[in-house]
Structures are given as C-alpha cells and as structure tokens.
Structure 1
Amino acid sequence: MLVPDPKVVRQLLTRYATLRIAQAEGRAAAVAGELADVTRGLCATMGTTSIHDAVARADDLLARARTDLRRSPEADGEGGLSLAV
C-alpha cells in the first residue's frame, strides 16, 4: 500500500487550515476556488471522499510519522539507513 509523503500531507493540511480561516474571516468568495482544489487534493491524497475523513487520516499519518521518526536509529544517534515513513 502506498503511503503519502508526510511533508506533502502537512503542506496540504496547512493550506487547508489557512483557507478555512480566511473563509471564516469573510473572504469566502476570494478563497472558494482554491479551497475546493485543496480539499479535492487532500481527499485524493488520503484516499477518501470526505474532507473530515481526509483530515482524520492525515492527522493519524502525521502522528505515526512522528512516532517512527523518534524510533529511528538516527534519533538514537546510531546512524544507518531507515526506510520508515
């Protein structure tokens, strides 16, 4: 199973949140198209049709990535290669 790059997922989530804030501040018309694009991209990246599911899956992916990073040999100062995502 393919796993999305956590960096890409983080960028999508950040952009989604920024656009939702802009929408809440009354700039809905100015951001509507871009928000729709980012929403579709996040859903496609996370393999969902619901933005709520996409955000939940993205959060889970990023949490796992942080945990894997803490457990990697580099985090312990051992060096070596790691294929953990």
Structure 2
Amino acid sequence: MLTAHPAILRDLVEQYETLRVLHAEEGTHASRQRLEDVSYTLCVSTGTRRTEDALAVAHRQLAAAPRVTDASPRTEDAAPAAGTDVRLTA
C-alpha cells in the first residue's frame, strides 16, 4: 500500500486540527468547506473513508516514521532538467 510522505501527512493533520478549531469558532460556510477539503485529502492520503479513521491511520504512520521536515524530493530522485542529455546505462 502506498503511504503519504510523513511531512505531508503531518501537515494535513495539523491543517485539520487548525481548521476544526477555526470552524468551531467561526462556523461559516467557508470554514466548513476548508475543513471538508482537508478531511477529504486526509482520507485519500490514508486510504480511509472516515475522518476519524484517517486521523488514527495518520497518527500510527507518523509514530512509525522517522521525523522528516522536508517533503521535497531528493536530488537523485528528481527528473532531469529539460534539454539535458540523459544516458541510460545497464
């Protein structure tokens, strides 16, 4: 099963928690929509259908993952720049 990068998952959980508080305080259509959007993304990222399940999976995955602060790809994983010659070797 594919899993989200720990930094991305951590960010989604933090966004969810922040938006949950914001929606509780404001109760606006916009705050509800933002909360629903991040909840959906969290569910997709964890392969779940309910926010409660997504949060539980996210917390389990984050507890098992090493602490990572940067979600950018490593240099060796990055695609070559346009116009760069690429030579494949065996």
- Matching residue's letter, 1:24: A
Q: Structure 1 stretches (4+) deviating beyond 2 angstroms?
A: 26-30
Note the C-alpha offset of 1:30. Answer: 3.1
Note the C-alpha offset of 1:25. Answer: 1.2
Q: What residue number does 2:7 align with?
A: 7
| Cα offsets for 1:11-47 (capped at 9, x unmatched) | 1001101100001113433311111110100000000
Greater Cα radius of gyration, structure 1 or 2: 2
Are the counterparts in 2 of residues 19 and 35 from structure 1 also a CA contact under 8 Å?
yes
Structure 1 runs not aligned, ≥5 long: 70-85
Residues of 1 paired with 2:53 and 2:28: CA distance? 23
Q: What residue number does 1:24 align with?
A: 24
Greater helix percent: which structure? 1
- Matching residue's letter, 2:5: D
Q: What residue number does 2:80 align with?
A: none
Larger RCO, structure (CA 8 Å, separation 6 or more):
2
Structure 2 runs not aligned, ≥5 long: 68-90
Map residues 67-78 of structure 1 onto 2, 5 A cutoff.
none
RMSD between aligned alpha carbons? 1.3
- Number of residue pairs the alignment of both structures matches: 67
Q: Compute the TM-score of the two structures, normalised by the length of structure 1.
A: 0.72
Residues of 2 paired with 1:20 and 1:28: CA distance? 12
- Matching residue's letter, 1:8: I
